Structure 1
């Protein structure tokens, strides 16, 4: 009971420090936490855990307040900077967008399967539709150092490295599945409009296999049919 009360008070204090944030669900979303993790500033580490190292202006939900934020793809969390302090922003139970002001890049939480378990994480929304949306999962992995076992071996430092982005299909209930690579399964996504979408793809010589610009065109066209 005491722990619950303490957590509620921390969330309240964090909310109050962000004066001016949109009233819609704000006191349920923001929570101040400490950063306890692998020391990513350790000597010899190569790479970064961020898609962009800089804190950039971003909006939450549809509020007007601007925050300095960056996406930590290694941990799949957003960090918020205010008055020189960094907070973890923990919204994975909620359905709302994080929109960067400059490039209009939008992130939103969806559930998905990973290692045979259902989890949730941030996805970039490439094209949002009424029934299905095209999503992109950005990910950075950590690789332990590899020590040289002999003079012929080469030492490899601990490394953070971005993996190949993965495309997903997002549904209106905030679930998602990885984009099918098989042609038949891919066009089945568009149900009654599958023939029209397939004709559009052939006519415009588009590829549905991991080519972002083409996939955006395909989904944008499909969403004009509904």
Structure 2
């Protein structure tokens, strides 16, 4: 019974407008009462890419095989990550495009070509809690986890202000990567650049952390250094 429930949850995480084209066989197991409960809530439209814009909202324009996992169930689909809209897009055999529902919890997506593992997690954006896709960099079972956020910015077009400078078209521009820290199951937070501010996140360990940062010349803006630091923190807790 538990296996059937997990399989059902996995089928429901794909946001679809018409469920029958993709799951012609598996769709039969979706009972009418569950369809009414989940189908309307997961219905999602793909963000239309703006025309006449340079650059791309995607990390990779091509749909490539990706393994999507929920609990112990896994499936492989052709997918791509829209870093501007922060959604994973899915394409079926009929070339129809959909988006994964972001309200489903505990979803991981592994890009088979690169091995990058994206997790859908809660994170702090100022005073607000949001949900988004992050690349998981640390060990899965660590109590303190390191994540990296890829994003793309949309820059509106600029007209010539005086007739001499050239107008600039609208553009998608890759933003610099940002690193986030997740302690236990709390929402992930942006890692402070200041070393003392970072150490304050762990009051009982702050002196040890600052000593480690100084001795090992750790820079909290570098991925490799942050991994060393996070591994150290997990080792002394």
TM-score exceeds 0.5 = yes
Aligned twin of 1:16: 23
Q: Is the 8 A contact 2:146 2:230 kept in 1?
A: yes
After superposition, where does 1:59-138 map in structure 2 within 5 Å?
59-61=67-69, 62-83=72-93, 84-114=95-125, 116-128=127-139, 129-138=141-150
Aligned twin of 1:46: 54
Q: Which runs of 5+ in 1 are unaligned?
A: 1-7, 21-26
Aligned twin of 2:213: 201
Q: Is the 8 A contact 1:15 1:31 kept in 2?
A: no
The structural deviation recorded for 1:51 is: 1.3
CA separation of 1:36 and 1:52: change in aligned 2, threshold 3 A? closer
CA separation of 1:34 and 1:18: change in aligned 2, threshold 3 A? farther
Q: Report the count of equivalent residues.
A: 209
Q: Which runs of 5+ in 2 are unaligned?
A: 1-14, 28-34
The structural deviation recorded for 1:46 is: 0.7
Q: Is the 8 A contact 2:16 2:42 kept in 1?
A: no
Q: RMSD over aligned Cα, in angstroms?
A: 3.0
CA separation of 1:168 and 1:154: change in aligned 2, threshold 3 A? same
The structural deviation recorded for 1:152 is: 1.4
Aligned twin of 1:173: 185
The structural deviation recorded for 1:118 is: 2.5
Alignment partners' CA distance in 1, 2:76 and 2:45: 22
The structural deviation recorded for 1:77 is: 0.4
Structure 1 position 162 matched with structure 2 position 174 = yes
Q: Which runs of 4 or more aligned residues in structure 1 lie more than 6 Å from their structure 2 counterparts after TM superposition?
A: 27-30
The structural deviation recorded for 1:60 is: 1.5
CA separation of 1:71 and 1:151: change in aligned 2, threshold 3 A? same
